Amino acid sequence: MTATSAERTALRPLSAVAEARRAARGFVESLGGPAIGREQADTVVLVVSELVTNALRHGGGAYTLRLTAHPSCIEVAVEDPSPRMPRLRTPDLVEGTGGFGWHMVNGLAHHVVVMPGPEGGKTVRALLPR
């Protein structure tokens, strides 16, 4: 099986997360039948949602989403213009200000790497089981 990929760029934060989820769902559905199970597809959509939300919230309001299907995993890559690296923080159970997403992404992915961009910014890559 060769790699299959899709890319999406957004600059409008208002509906960007919903658009990213729809793009991710469409991507995994395009893989067809037994290529990816429903639970794995839901995991891809959840990770896309979290990474895009983080890019919009902490990365300057713009992002590029790249999805690639490899033989053994789905790669989710989200690029944003901020050089600030993600960090684990204690989830806020009182005020509801977040802190859950990065833990969730790291727990669901086989591997997560953050790569600084050549001209600033960064790309967060998560490899998810198929």
Cβ neighbours of residue 57 closer than 8 Å, sequence gap 6 or more: 98
The candidate with the shortest Cα–Cα distance to 51, out of 128, 108, 124, 127, is 124
Q: How far, in Å, CA of 80 to CA of 30, rounded?
A: 26
**Under 8 Å between Cβ of 99 and 89:** yes
Print pLDDT tens along the chain (130 aa): 455 666 655 555 558 899 999 999 999 999 876 778 889 999 999 999 999 999 998 888 889 999 999 989 999 999 999 999 887 777 666 776 666 788 899 999 999 999 999 988 999 999 999 8
Residue 95 burial (CB < 10 Å; 0-12/13-18/19+)? Answer: exposed
Burial of 57 from C-beta contacts in 10 A (0-12 / 13-18 / 19+) = middle
